[in-house]
Amino acid sequence: MLRLSPAPLSPPLFSPSFWLRNPHVQTICGARWVSVPRPVWRQEIWASPDEDALQVERLTGAPDRPVLTLFHGLEGSAESPYIRTLANAAQALGWSVVAPHFRACGSLLNTRPRLYHAGDSPEIHWILQRVRAEFPHALRYAAGFSLGGNMLLKWLGEQGDDAGQWIDRCAAVATPFDLTAVGDHLTQGLNRFYGRHFLTTLKAKARAKHAQFPGLFDLEATLAARTLRQFDDHCMAPLHGFRDAGEYWERSSCLPLLPHIRCPTLLLQARDDPFMPPHGLPSRHALPPDVTLDFQARGGHVGFISGILPPRADWMPVHLLNYLKPSPPSSQMCHNPSE
C-alpha cells in the first residue's frame, strides 16, 4: 500500500538500489520491467472541437474528492507504467482519474489529417475545459510526463493567471523543456537507441495516417528518416503547420514560457536523465515562485524505480500525490535546498 504523508518542507531524496543506479537501467526498467497492475479503466470516446475522436480512460472516485488528469509522453498511452502507477495511487485516495490518449495513441486511429504534437496547447485546453465542466466543484489537478509534461507546461505558461480557472495544482515529470536540445541529444552515443525506438512506432503511425490521406506528406522521406529531426521535418512539421523541425521544436518548447506560470507546479527531474543535456534544463532562478524545481540525482527518464526484486515504481506517485493533495497552508509549497 502506498503511504502518503503531509507535503514535505523539502523534497525527499530518491535513492535506488545498487543495481538500479545506471540511468539507462532506470529508464528501461521503468518502461519495461516494472509490473504495475492495470487499472479497471472505463473507456470513453470524446469528440474534439475539430470533430476528431479521442480515446479517454476513466476511473471514478468519490464525489467530494479531487480529479486528476494525466498526460502521457511521446508514443505513450494510458497503459504506460507511469500512468498506471499514478492512476492506481490516486484511485486509492478516492480520486477520479482522467487519462486521455493524444491523437492516434491508444487503440484508436484518429480521423483528422493530423497526429499529436509537442506544442498542442489547444488540445490540453479543451481537455481541461471538459474536465472542469464535469467536475465544477472539485479540486482539479494535472500531471504530465515527458512530452505530455512539455505540453502541459506550455499551456500553463500561455494561460498565466487564467490557468486557475481550470486547474488547481500541476506536476510535470522528466520534461523535455528545450525540444531542440533534447532532439539533438538523442542522436548521440547510447541515446540513439531511444530515438530509434520512438521512430519505429512513429513511422507506423505515419504509414497509417498516409493511408487515410494519401499525399498528405512525403511518406517515402518519412519512412527513410534516421533521426527524430528528419522524421519531424518530413511528417510532424508539415502535418501541423510548421516550416520544418527546427521551427516546430522552437515554437513548441515550454522553456521560454516557464516564467509566466502562475499555478502551483512541481517540476520533477533526474539529473542523470539520458534524454536531457544539462544546457536544456531550467534554472531555479529563472522560475516564478509558484514553480518548484525538484532535481533528483538519479532516476533516469521517467524512471525513479527502487527496490531489489521485484523492482518497484512507488516513489514517484507518492512524491507527486504528496505535492498535489490538499495540505495545510504552511506547507503548500516545496523548496529544494540544493537550488
Among the candidates 200, 235, 252, a domain finishes at 252
In a domain, 208, yes or no: yes
Q: Is the residue at 73 inside a domain?
A: yes
Cell matching residue 112:
483528422
**pLDDT of the residue at 26:** 83
Angle between helices 147-159 and 121-134 (to 10 degrees): 80
Residues 245 and 260 in one domain: no
Tell me, what CATH number does 293's domain have? Answer: 3.40.50.1820
> Does the annotation count 5 as an active-site position?
no
Q: What is the DSSP letter of 165?
A: G
Q: Which residue among 215, 231, 252 closes a domain?
A: 252
DSSP sequence for 238-293: HHTT-SSHHHHHHHH-SGGGGGG--S-EEEEEETT-TT--GGGSPPGGGS-TTEEE
Query: What pLDDT does residue 27 have?
Result: 86
* Domain assignment of residue 336, yes or no: no
33 CB burial (10 A radius; 0-12, 13-18, 19+): middle
- Residue 289 burial class via C-beta count within 10 angstroms: exposed 0-12, middle 13-18, buried 19 and up: exposed
Give 50-104 pLDDT, tens digit per residue: 999 999 999 999 999 999 999 999 999 999 999 999 999 999 999 999 999 999 9
In this prediction, residue 98 carries a pLDDT of 98
Q: How far apart are CA 54 and CA 48, in angstroms?
A: 7
Residue at 313 is within a domain: yes
80 and 156 assigned to the same domain: yes
Final residue in a domain of this structure, among 252, 276, 306: 252
* Residue 293 placed within a domain: yes
223 & 319 share domain: no
Task: Residue 64: give the domain boundaries.
Answer: 18-178+255-331
495544482: which residue's cell? 169
- Tell me, yes or no, whether 310 and 163 share the same domain: yes
- Whether residue 164 sits in one domain with residue 50: yes
Q: What percent of the chain has pLDDT over 90?
A: 77
Domain co-membership, 142 together with 272: yes
- Do residue 77 and residue 25 come from a single domain? yes
pLDDT at 149: 98
* Residues 65, 203 within the same domain: no
121 is catalytic: no
Same domain? For 162 and 246 the reply is no
Choosing from 301, 306, 314, 319, the catalytic residue is: 301
**Model's pTM, two decimal places?**
0.92
User: Domain for residue 277, yes or no?
Assistant: yes
- Does 146 participate in catalysis according to the annotation? yes
Whether residues 246 and 296 fall in one domain: no
Residue 46 and residue 108 in one domain: yes
For residue 262, being part of any structural domain is answered with: yes
Query: Within a 13 Å sphere around the CA of 28, how many CA atoms are in the beta-carbon half?
Result: 12
The residue from 120, 178, 272, 273 that is catalytic is: 273
Do 164 and 105 share a domain, yes or no? yes
Question: Residues 146, 252, 253, 306: which is the catalytic one?
Answer: 146
Largest Cα–Cα distance of the chain, in whole Å?
58
Low-confidence ranges of the chain (pLDDT < 70): 1-11, 326-339
Count: domains in the chain:
2
| Residue 10 confidence (pLDDT) | 53
Residue 116 lies in a domain: yes
Nearest to 179 by CA among 203, 139, 149: 149
